[in-house]
Amino acid sequence: MLYKDFLKNLDKCPFCDGGNNRHLLKTETAYLTYALAPYHKHHLLIVPFRHEEIILGLTDKEVLDMDFLQEEALKIFKKLGYKNMSVLEREGDNTSKSIPHLHNHVIPEVRIGDLDHNGNERRVMSESEIKDVVDEIFSVL
């Protein structure tokens, strides 16, 4: 089944519902599991038990527990012989392209694609584009 079809057929949150029997490790507030639609065969996920959709909505305890599980996932990958890992904290969203329950991806030696989020070939920004981005960020600091 394609991941996009899996997402279309969801009738409940798989991290709230199905996560219980897929724990590799767990703490009081979060668990480590494997991705059902992985980018890499050893693609792991860290998920808070509580259904939270935004990073800033995590409690201090959830942040600590997720950091602990991230360390454990990285140690597992080292033991499996990987040298490089990537971590991506993913908020739930309403684009139907991800599970709407915050989760962290921990992936060994994954090649992040050549395409940007719009599906276009990635390119290096021009000096004026860099200035615009930096100005925009400083405008909200």
Among residues 101 and 105, whose Cβ is nearest to Zn ion?
Answer: 101
Name the residues that contact Zn ion, by CB under 5 A. Answer: 13, 15-16, 51, 101
> Please, what is the minimum distance in Å from the beta carbon of residue 124 to Zn ion?
38
Distance CA 138, CA 76 (A): 39
Q: Are strands 30-34 and 44-48 parallel, antiparallel or unpaired?
A: antiparallel
Among residues 42 and 103, whose Cβ is nearest to Zn ion?
Answer: 103
Among residues 36 and 74, whose Cβ is nearest to Zn ion?
Answer: 36
> Please, what is the minimum distance in Å from the beta carbon of residue 92 to Zn ion?
8
Q: For residues 45 and 106, is the Cβ–Cβ distance under 8 A?
A: yes
> Please, what is the minimum distance in Å from the beta carbon of residue 101 to Zn ion?
3
**Nearest Cα to Cα of residue 10 among 127, 133, 109, 92:** 92
